[in-house]
Structure 1
Amino acid sequence: MQGEKYLFVVSGPSGTGKDTVVSQLLKKHPEVHKTVSATTRAMREGETNGVSYYFLTKDQFRSELEAGGIVEHTCYCENYYGTLRSEVERYMMEQTPVILVIEVEGAGNIKRLYPDSTTIFVLPPDMKELEHRLRCRGTESEEVIEKRLRRAETEIALSADYDEHVVNDVVDTCADQIYSIIQDRLVRD
């Protein structure tokens, strides 16, 4: 599809700070946008429907899937997450750089649908720091934290399939690295 070079996928294990990094990038570079994902998980304190996520019931999510309105999705910790086709294709048609912050499984789906997109994997400095970040959130049970840490190991192993890799040791530095990747990609073609 035309405009695929404007599509950037950012993934990484839960707790790597990928959302924080992308938020920092968007503050510094308002010409870059981020899609709003759909999810069936409960809204957390401080989140807003249509801004943080599109919060859907499981039935609503399934209906969107069946209608072809979701281009990638995954089930993570018993909740669905997905990207709305309308969000992605609007930005591509406008030739506006857009970032999807999604899980590893979803990134593979996007790369298959939009092969000229760019995938970027955010790594933690190390596993000890990742565990520290997950625990400091204070939003998940011990069981969920352990599940996220096991999944992180699997996701890091799969990161070899990504086009680019960055380490989130310092948020500003990581955001600048991702922006450089975006700029390089846009001038390449």
Structure 2
Amino acid sequence: MSRQGFLVVLSGPSSVGKDTLLEAVLGHIPDMVYSVSATTRPPRPGERHGVDYYFLSDEEFRELIRNDGLLEWAEYCDYLYGTPRAFVEEMVAQGKIVISDIDIQGAEQLRRTMPDGVFIFLMPPSLEELRRRIMRRATDSPEAIASRMARAEEEMHSIVNYDYWILNADLAQAVEDLKAIIRAESLRVKRGGYKEVGESL
């Protein structure tokens, strides 16, 4: 069935569980593909170039900016992050559902460049639980943890700019909520999937 593709943007505070949620749904939703972001931060243990991120030098990243090769980009914790344009536009044109993990600043830009996108905010059960999740990573200094928590509290206010929100208290429920949102959005009349059915009636 012919259907217009669309972009799904998943945002939320650091360590809220975006990567875990994405891993749980990818491969289980037909025609869904993941948009790998580009970044200037160094890889963490186990991360792979082109799979988790495109790990670029500062100059390589800024070259993409100059050539309009990014749909959006933002600076977070002294590193640059962005969404490569070509992959997203090509997949949407092919009718795919493109999902990406993008921060608040980037999502604001994407609302302008991809107005038909679906924007979802992932919420932690509480700020205290979020702090525990950040500390479990064991990669941040006390100062960095305090900075991430302060930023998280600020980011919570951005939820009003999103189309949907999901509470990430229970992973299985969060997965079902995300699948329900994507299913509903796939059936929106403006996506055009009904046209082939209508022609056969």
List runs of 5+ in structure 2 lacking aligned partners. 190-201
Q: Which amino acid aligns with 1:124?
A: P
1:10 shift after superposition: 0.3
2:172 corresponds to which residue? 172
8 Å contact from structure 1 (residues 4, 116) kept in 2 = no
Q: Render the CA deviation track for 1:133-177: whole Å, top value 9, x for unaligned.
A: 000011111111111101101111011100000000111211221
Is 1:66 aligned to residue 80 of structure 2? Answer: no
2:10 corresponds to which residue? 10
2:22 corresponds to which residue? 22
Give me the TM-score of the superposition, normalised by structure 2.
Answer: 0.90
8 Å contact from structure 2 (residues 5, 93) kept in 1 = no
Secondary structure at 1:28 match in 2: coil
1:100 corresponds to which residue? 100
Q: Which amino acid aligns with 1:175?
A: V
Q: Which amino acid aligns with 2:78?
A: E
Q: Which amino acid aligns with 1:138?
A: A
Secondary structure at 2:139 match in 1: coil
2:117 corresponds to which residue? 117
8 Å contact from structure 2 (residues 5, 91) kept in 1 = no
List runs of 5+ in structure 1 lacking aligned partners. none
Is 1:143 aligned to residue 147 of structure 2? Answer: no
| RMSD over aligned Cα atoms | 1.3
1:4 shift after superposition: 7.1
Secondary structure at 1:16 match in 2: coil
Please give the alpha-carbon distance, in whole angstroms, between the structure 2 residues aligned to 1:30 and 1:126.
32
8 Å contact from structure 1 (residues 5, 117) kept in 2 = no
- Mark the CA change 1:40 to 1:69 in structure 2 (over 3 Å): closer, same or farther: same
8 Å contact from structure 1 (residues 4, 115) kept in 2 = no
Is 1:156 aligned to residue 156 of structure 2? Answer: yes
Please give the alpha-carbon distance, in whole angstroms, between the structure 1 residues aligned to 2:22 and 2:66.
30
Please give the alpha-carbon distance, in whole angstroms, between the structure 1 residues aligned to 2:86 and 2:12.
24
Please give the alpha-carbon distance, in whole angstroms, between the structure 2 residues aligned to 1:129 and 1:17.
11
4+ runs deviating over 6 angstroms: none
Please give the alpha-carbon distance, in whole angstroms, between the structure 1 residues aligned to 2:157 and 2:27.
31
1:29 shift after superposition: 2.7
Q: Which amino acid aligns with 1:161?
A: N
Larger radius of gyration: 2
Task: Report sequence identity in percent.
Answer: 37
1:28 shift after superposition: 2.8
